[in-house]
Structure 1
């Protein structure tokens, strides 16, 4: 049974690898530092929303044999509406993923900076962080191999290591169980910190994962006959990923500082547990988190472009590689030019929260197309849950935009 379970690990775990990135570590830590356990409920909501939306994406990929972007472009018949949909998807994913990629690489850099001093070199009057280039090269190498199994095994290994590390760390902080339960099930909305709630949603319900999952299930399984297995693997992966995020918030609540600027600040919460090893433990976790997400973000962007333009070639084709190279390259550029990594990471999560409604509406619409899914289209219950998630995402996105523009 255990052997069968590990054999079926794949796309769901890669989705978890995508959202357990530096953004998760940073935003969840800041939520714990600033609000203790009071925002744990936002993670419960995010986990539920992720399971509902990712199940739809997986079902679409297995039943139709097509990705989300490809399906949307084929089902929208009116030329103007079709090009409008393509523009929205490409804008949302490419812009969002470039911001997310910069945050991913910056997070990995945060981890390595605690171990390597003075990682900057001068070039034409600009200081360039060589650690960003190193992380970019690692991500480039894994993606360039173009083998799904290599990518899957690399990410699964890193996710398992991160999960064990953060969950054990949370347990060792000996938190008050009653306070945790209250935080999980009693919603408390901070009046002047809506962006933290948006960030927690954006770091878990990642828009590009909907495209990525619909495409990757076709790489792993044969078709609708494997839907039950795909669902089981998804549920376990997302719940474990959510527990990791909750564990990070619990660790963050133990940090006795009011401002976080670097990995050393984040490590303070682990010092009582690991002593001087705290910095190294967190550095390895951040580095692994950065690598996993630095691989999945460009990969998802390439799948979106492939679907929008109807390319037949897959992960090893030149066109596919050019897209992920572009996203990875711009991410490295933004990350290496001295922008505050914490600010980049936080912005990426907020951007995700604002882009989610656009992608969720497309997915919700497609999942009700009988021509696409037949008897596997959404049930009334699934539509009800999806509707609540979409409406909530729209409200949160609008609130986030208002807060950013008008303060």
Structure 2
């Protein structure tokens, strides 16, 4: 397919692809790299396992946004008791803020890796200011197209495993036959993988973006054609996300794990996974991937948080609006970025912070999954577009798995 054809295909994909790409943010890269480095190929099965669950949950949220023409928070506010709404905010805000800070910190760290003479803190401040200007000045849809191309650097992880002899029987076994170790370290990484893959903030983002798409495209009736188009978009985005996840684990599991690098504490350690392919260009390519996904994901994170606040407090909202049209909405984004920036001045390393973020999502996700399932089956809200039995099955499995993993982790921690 020619470049022009690829570009057109890219444009036909909407919120689902952006959601999938932003899911492989620095938090995801760190978590999957640590999984491969720390446990070899024994967590490969999670990529195959999480895809249908992730696609089902994001599909539910997309359908809610399309049918109701509003985000999850507005739906909760309109149809559910206030304690549920405030409980969701309480569960979600700390993890989202930590994720914003961890991503900014990671982006600053990769810039410092390329230009060691400049302190990480200087890069973090510069990146935060850049994000503020870009988010306020440009419509998100416009910058997302550019950033999606930067994220394609992550596809280089797919090439590395084919550069050396691999035991493909072992890879196939670990992909299709789950390996489970009953200890704190293993359950921590499983919860982190689940948390960074089935991330609560993406639920809010997906619903809001679908609602905005319906408004922009002047969709009056949500028919089967619209729903099928949404489903294809979401499934494509989630497939892209999980393919990248699989190969990051495979690459680090076949490059770092055999080399004895079992604990990743710095971004340059994570970057070494690309050494067999990129040689001296490794750090530049890795930096491009982290910066691309970080610059794509942070507006998603901050935007999701601000949509939640705006819908709760009745503010004007929308990343396509001018600053003067939605001042409280944009001010809340600025505040969330500044609070996230403070993480840089803590003693937590960027990679550790990203891993802690994923674990935090893993612990809070079960509650939101239960809420989304309830909304998706509420005929008063969804009318004739309630969840199918298959969506409910996958959603219930996601709820059980996320809950079990979180309980197991708490047990081992205590």
Partners of 2:157 and 2:274 within 8 A in 1? no
Inter-partner Cα distance in structure 2 for 1:401 and 1:181: 31
The Cα of 1:48 is off from its aligned counterpart by: 1.7
Inter-partner Cα distance in structure 2 for 1:142 and 1:188: 44
Number of equivalenced pairs: 392
Inter-partner Cα distance in structure 2 for 1:146 and 1:301: 19
Moved over 4 A (4+): 1-4
The Cα of 1:335 is off from its aligned counterpart by: 2.2
Inter-partner Cα distance in structure 2 for 1:174 and 1:105: 37
The Cα of 1:89 is off from its aligned counterpart by: 1.5
Inter-partner Cα distance in structure 1 for 2:140 and 2:282: 34
Inter-partner Cα distance in structure 2 for 1:64 and 1:283: 39
Instruction: Tell whether 2:299 aligns with 1:290.
Output: no
Instruction: Tell whether 2:60 aligns with 1:99.
Output: no
What does residue 124 of structure 1 align with? none
The Cα of 1:364 is off from its aligned counterpart by: 0.6
Partners of 2:21 and 2:240 within 8 A in 1? no
Give the unaligned 5+ runs of structure 1: 77-81, 121-127
Instruction: Tell whether 2:64 aligns with 1:60.
Output: yes
RMSD: 1.9
Pair 1:133–1:174, CA change in 2 (3 A): farther
The Cα of 1:100 is off from its aligned counterpart by: 0.8
Pair 1:282–1:242, CA change in 2 (3 A): same
TM-score normalised by structure 2 residue count: 0.89
Give the unaligned 5+ runs of structure 2: none
Partners of 2:99 and 2:357 within 8 A in 1? yes
The aligned runs of 1:87-126 (5 Å cut-off) are 87-120=86-119
Instruction: Tell whether 2:319 aligns with 1:320.
Output: no
Structure 1 residue corresponding to 2:124, chosen from 118, 122, 132: 132
- How big is each residue's C-alpha offset from its partner over 1:55-86, in whole Å with a ceiling of 9 and x where there is no partner? 0001111111111111111111xxxxx22112
The Cα of 1:309 is off from its aligned counterpart by: 2.6
Indicate the SS of the match to 1:107.
helix
The aligned runs of 1:14-93 (5 Å cut-off) are 14-76=18-80, 82-93=81-92
Pair 1:277–1:138, CA change in 2 (3 A): same
Instruction: Tell whether 2:344 aligns with 1:339.
Output: no
Instruction: Tell whether 2:403 aligns with 1:362.
Output: no
Instruction: Tell whether 2:224 aligns with 1:235.
Output: no
Inter-partner Cα distance in structure 2 for 1:57 and 1:98: 21
Inter-partner Cα distance in structure 2 for 1:188 and 1:365: 32
Deviates more, 1:147-156 or 1:92-101: 147-156
Inter-partner Cα distance in structure 2 for 1:385 and 1:355: 18
Partners of 2:160 and 2:276 within 8 A in 1? no
Partners of 1:14 and 1:156 within 8 A in 2? yes
- How big is each residue's C-alpha offset from its partner over 1:274-295, in whole Å with a ceiling of 9 and x where there is no partner? 2222222222222222222222
